[in-house]
Amino acid sequence: MKNLKIYKAFPAYDNYLDKFYHTNIELKNMTFFELQYALIRDGFPWIFSWSTNINNSDVDIFETVHNCEWLQKSWDVNKKIYINWQIEIVIEQIKSFKPNICVLYPPELFTQEIILQIKSVVNHEMVIVGYDGMNRMNVDLYKGYDLIVTCSDYISDYYKKNNKETYTLNFCFDESILDRITLKSTQQYNVGFSGSIYAKMHDYRYELLKYLTKRIDIEVRSEFGTERDYSLTSKGQLKRLIKRKDLSNYLGLWRISKANTGPVFGLEMYQFLHDSKISINMHGDHINFAANVRLYEITGVGSCMLTDWKTNISEIFIPDKEIVTYTSYEEAYDKVKFLLRNETLREKIAKAGQQKTIENYTYKKRLPHLFSFLKRFYNFNS
């Protein structure tokens, strides 16, 4: 009896990989699978979520992080010299593993030209699957892909209308994280936010945090300040400050920067979310539906989530019972104050949100449906 074989190559944030490697320098001389296991244990979302949550005996999965140089180059024991190591090592792994399904991301790297190159070196039928979890909604990016997996029905509907085969795999929570963080630790932070704040992508996040940090103490964990638009010392910011045209914005930058101690990833991020009595979530500026991964990470670790209201949010969680929502800066502030004053209610909401996520929104619950779909799509018979 043969198994369905799935190869999956996803990236991780470069600054996460740099931090992880420099913190674990002893990994330098380890094998590919030893390095892979070390990354799995660190709990960075998504990159190894399929292989670590599989309960199908007839599915084999090979997952890797294609932009992790020290991991990928450990695959080649002969230490070849590569012109484009990310693509070339992925191709070598595909040739070795011989998958039926090949899941590649992002489409900006794995272009139609690269897909044709990959298909030219295998001697068996193979389905190429793309992924859109960032609301790209750009059918031209996915030329050459046989199927597109998305994180929301809203995104899938776009591709269906453009005659692309698609499947919705909503973001999930890896419940094994709860065995790897300290659940008995006190919730030392009243309000926490962890996430990116990039100009023109997260301007609403910036404005909300600017509003809240003026009124309450918030713990921020972000790359904030590394971009020119959000840097205290950029020429543009200093020029606006000197001319007294934008003092309030400069002070907002300063307050968020003061509250921020830098980004956290993997288990460190999950621990921070768990240790926050209230965790703030907000989608990107151009996302009109609830879909991001923080919905499940925050509730999964048992923090009380305060999230931006979206039309479909009640399809995922029950507002005011499992989560709390806001529609404006003022409402977010009022609800933070209310939740901090009402500890019993806040803890009840957090517990109910966690229960909903553990019962419904875990990889172990959702992945079997994906694998069943992929078997039908490939016309696989074990």
Angular region, 373: left φ>0, alpha ψ -120 to 50, beta rest: alpha
269 vs 265: CA distance, rounded Å = 5
Per-residue pLDDT of 43-77, as tens digits, reads 998 889 999 998 767 899 999 999 999 999 999 87
pLDDT reported for residue 134: 84
Q: Which residues contact 346 (CB under 8 A, 6 or more apart)?
A: 277, 278, 304, 339, 340
Is residue 212 within 8 Å of residue 330, measured between CB atoms?
Answer: no
* Full set of structural domains in the chain with CATH: 4-172+362-378 (3.40.50), 175-360 (3.40.50.2000)
202 vs 105: CA distance, rounded Å = 22
Q: Which residues contact 223 (CB under 8 A, 6 or more apart)?
A: 15, 196, 197, 262, 263
Is residue 127 within 8 Å of residue 142, measured between CB atoms?
Answer: no
Dig out the tokens for 293 from the structure: 């991964």
- Element holding 159 (H helix, E strand): helix 153-161
Dig out the tokens for 359 from the structure: 């019962």
* CA atoms within 13 A of residue 317's CA, in its CB half-sphere: 32
pLDDT reported for residue 250: 77
Q: For the chain, which ranges sit under pLDDT 70?
A: 1, 56, 225-246, 380-382
- pTM score, whole prediction: 0.92
Is residue 232 within 8 Å of residue 246, measured between CB atoms?
Answer: no
pLDDT reported for residue 380: 64
pLDDT reported for residue 234: 61
232 vs 241: CA distance, rounded Å = 10
Dig out the tokens for 271 from the structure: 């621990």
What is the 3-state composition of the chain as percent helix, strand, coil, each rounded to the nearest 5?
A: 45, 15, 40
Per-residue pLDDT of 141-185, as tens digits, reads 999 999 999 999 999 999 999 999 999 999 999 999 999 999 987
Dig out the tokens for 58 from the structure: 């007839």
- CA torsion through residues 252, 270, 136, 8, sign: positive
